[in-house]
Amino acid sequence: MDTESIKDLVDRIIADGQITRSEQQFLNAAILKDGQIDPAEREQIERLFDMIYRGEIQAVP
């Protein structure tokens, strides 16, 4: 998973309909890695958070 991009990770989470704790940790690390998020990554992350908020993505252990 180390070489997985934010876009790839978010796409997989959306396809699975759930996000695991390890995926959450990886996403946080990827976001904080260089302190910069490009507009496409920001859009993907916002889309994911919206889906979590609406209950379309479940957080699982």
Q: Is residue 47 part of a domain?
A: yes
Beta partners for residue 18, in sequence order = 58
Q: Is residue 40 part of a domain?
A: yes
Q: Is residue 26 part of a domain?
A: yes
Q: Is residue 29 part of a domain?
A: yes
Q: What is the DSSP letter of 2?
A: T
Nearest 10 degrees: CA dihedral of 47, 50, 52, 55? -130
Q: Is residue 22 part of a domain?
A: yes
Q: Is residue 61 part of a domain?
A: no
Q: Is residue 30 part of a domain?
A: yes
Q: How many domains does the chain have?
A: 1
Which residue segment(s) compose the domain that 43 sits in?
6-56
Q: What is the DSSP letter of 35?
A: S
pLDDT of the chain along its 61 residues, tens only? 445 788 899 999 999 999 999 999 999 998 888 778 889 889 999 999 999 999 999 999 8
In whole angstroms, what is the distance from residue 11 CA to residue 22 CA? 16
pLDDT number for residue 31? 84
